[in-house]
Each structure stands twice: as structure tokens, then as C-alpha cells.
Chains A and B, each alone.
Chain A
Amino acid sequence: MTPILETKNLCKYYGSGENLVKAVDHIDLQIAQGEYVAIVGKSGSGKSTLLHLLGALDNPTSGEIWVDGKNIAALTGEELTALRRRKIGFIFQAFNLIPSLNVWENIVLPIGLDGKRADEEFVRDILRTLDLEERTNALPNTLSGGQQQRTAIARAIAAKPSIILADEPTGNLDTKNGDEVISLLKLSAKKYGQTLVVITHNEDIAQMADRTIMLEDGRLI
């Protein structure tokens, strides 16, 4: 299978000498299009660093990252921004919604930033799937944690990215809401043909993935 996301000998080190921390240490990873991969590891194992590198949010110390056949090191700043906006959707543990914008505005904001018009029909469809239709005009602080995370999911999906990167998406949710969020991500990814990479320390959640990758001290095990 052609990988949509690939790392070659990827390293990310912090500090130097005795304080050298190998957050990501020679990782070779291939993720196929449409795959749902869970990256599991304890805190400090380098999961978040790896995800940030995959999403071009951080620069590697050495090694290469290929997204959709492009080596992202070769891209200009402008192309990199376009790649992050169009190809990749992010979901974070802390939701990262903008408090002064309502649900709808939060969802279409990244599309607007990209200078495009939101596909209204598509966004409505997502809202229906995520049961947010009635909260379209609500502000984030009036929503429950589950609803906020569903809004963040809607935002990640709305730009129709090829890849969704989720960093502990259920970290702030109880078991039931967390399970539901993961099922939703899986359902949406399947519905819209997206690749899903979820990092978590929760093995219960990793069960639902097509493939689980274990990370320890920055290395795959």
C-alpha cells in the first residue's frame, strides 16, 4: 500500500551532552491511506513530539517526513501552511476552541483562513453526524466537554483533510464520552475516507484501531 504518511529515520533531540533527551529516536513509520492507527505509550514516551512532527508543527533534528508523496522539509513556509490547512486536521486534548466564536464559526474558521468558502451542505452533514445540529449557535463555554470535543472533531473534518492527527482526544472526557468520541472519529474517517492517527495512553481506546503502534523512550517497540 502507498503510505500517505511516512517517516524515515526520524529523530528529535532536546538539550545536549548529559542532558540530551531523545524524544523521538530513529522512527521509521508508514501509515496507509484510510488506516486508523493508534500510537500508544506512557507519558514521556515521545508520542506528542512524534505527532507534532507528523503534523509539521515542529522540525525534526534529523530524518525525513513524507506527507502524501511530498518531503515536507523541501516545502516553503507558505506551502507548509497550505499543507497543514488542507491536508491535515488536528484534534487536541484541550479542544482549543475559540471562546468568542460559536460552534459554527469555530468549525468554518480554518476554511475561511485558507481563503475558501465552507461547503455548507457538508458541514451540516458533519453536524448531524456529531449531533451538534441544535448547538450550532452556542458558544464553547456553554457546551459539555463531549460537545466541545465533538466541535473540535467537526472542525478537523470540515476542511476535508486527508489525515486527522489526534493528540489524546479523550483525555478530558469520561469513559463513555471518550468511547463515543473515538467511535465517532472512526465513523467519520471511514465515511470521508480519511486517515486517522490517534495518540493515547489509554489501551482501551487503542483496541478500536486497525493497528496499534507502541512507543517507548522515543522508539517503536
Chain B
Amino acid sequence: MTATRISPETATALAAFLLSMADDEFVIGFSDSEWTGIAPILEEDVAMSSIAQDELGHARALYELLAALLDDGRDADALAYDREPEAYRHAGLLDHPRGDWAMTMARRFLYDTADDARLASVGEVWPPLAELIAKVRREERYHLMHVLAWADRLARAGGESRARFVAALEMLAPDASTVLTIPEGEAALLDAGIITRPMSAAAAAWRAEVAAILGPLGITLTLEPAADAVAARTGHGDAFRWLWGEFTSVRRSEPGATW
């Protein structure tokens, strides 16, 4: 199946799915890059910058795929930068400010594990996406190893470290399921085989995975399913408005210019 042979209904759903994944990677890439230059140790600074670049690279590839699908004259940069804040479709989990290192690692832990469950749900029928996801998963494997090492270390260090990490997990937990939502047309994507299981099934697998990792660390987290797939990815608050103001500032200073 190629992009041109996808039904209009499936194309709309696919566009929404691609946009939600691209915006997720774009926004978490920005949050991660806020640590560039100021991470707790130099070695971690270098690691975090690499992760940020990976995420932004994934976002760019997904926006490019979306641009080809939409074919409306917008390129990846236009899709990434030239929207009003309300038009972004990233998960509510990513709407929190960067916070401290515990918040950053708690967010990465919840996002990386949920994203892994989402990526594992993508089928083979649309090769452009399937090929991209295969590449993305090769890199995300290392992000998972990185964050699991940190989760283990922060939890087992006890004291302030554990307290901060557990508090950050508990604060983010109510929003964590938002990653496993598709804003519209999930049924069409399932019918077409672009995804192979509903996001509710992916979320169940993810909750089991999280419990299996946190259980041995003595941490129990309540992860309720996201109530509303649309609300999960809209209504972004002040933290994102600030971020949007920053990342569009140079671009808005001279609209239409080449940078």
C-alpha cells in the first residue's frame, strides 16, 4: 500500500496519528535540549544532548512523512513551527515544565515506555511509516536503557533522590496515558492495518511493563486510562505557551524569511 492508495478517511486518520507522534517527539526533544550545557554532570550533558537530537530527528522524519501525505505545500519546518499553540497535538504528559532532574527522568521514563508500546503497535502495511518506525526503535532502545539506568539509580539511592523521583512520577502519572491516544480515526487505522492493536491494548501492555519495572524498586504507580483522546492532546497550558513563544521567536521576527 502506498500513500496514494490510502482511502481519504484513512489518510485523515493517518495524518492525525503522524502529527501526534511528531509533536510528541518535537516537544520532548525541546525539553531535553533545555539540559544542554547545564546537566548534573558533563558526561550526562553529552548524553542528554544526543537524546534530544535523536528525538528532534524523529520529529523531522515524521513531519516529512506528514508533509508528503498532506501535499499542501508545507514542508517539515512549516509543520513544526508555523502553527498556533492550540494546533499542536502532543500528549498532555509533555505539557509540564522541564522541572528538576527527577522530573526530567520521570517524564522520560513514562514517555519512553509508553512510546515503545505505541511504536510496537504500528503495522507493516504502509512501508514509509513501518521503515521509519524500525529505524526509530533502534535508537529508542538506547533511550530506554539510559532512562532505566537512571530510574534504578534514583530509586535505589534512597533519601532525597528517591523522594524526588517518586514525587515526580506521582505528579506526572495522571497525564502519562495521554501518550497512548490517537486524536481521531483510530478505527480507520486499525481497519487499514496501519496499527495492529487499539491504543487501549497498547496501554494495558504498557501498564504491565511499568509495573514490572517499578515493582522491584518498591514503587506503585496508578496509571488510569486517558479519559478523552481529544482532550489528551489539546488545551496545552502555560508551559507549552512559553515554549512555543521561545521556539517561534526568531522565525516570527521576519515571517517568510529563510533561516
Do A and B pair up? The answer is no
